Amino acid sequence: MKLMKVVSVFLFILVTGTAFGQSEQNIWKTLAKITYKKQYDEMMGFKVDIPVFSEDIKKWQANRWK
């Protein structure tokens, strides 16, 4: 009986996780468009990588948080 509950919960998590993963179609391709530029940081005393987000990512973020 306990094994059946564990298996049921596992299958539920597997199915829902897969469904949510599929809903963000091509998100990895969109995230791959992030580039970086070197910028001097006075507090650290050396250049650090600063992300530069493409317009696609900015649009995606705006739509995601509405």
Contact 7, 1 (CB under 8 A): no
Contact 38, 48 (CB under 8 A): yes
pLDDT 10s digits, 12-66: 787 666 555 555 667 888 888 899 999 999 999 999 999 999 888 888 777 777 6
Residue 66 to residue 60: CA distance in whole angstroms: 10
Q: pTM of the predicted model, to two decimals?
A: 0.48
Extents of the domains making up the chain? 25-66
Residue 61 to residue 33: CA distance in whole angstroms: 14
Q: What are the distances in angstroms from CA 41 to CA 21, 26, 35, 61?
A: 37, 34, 18, 26
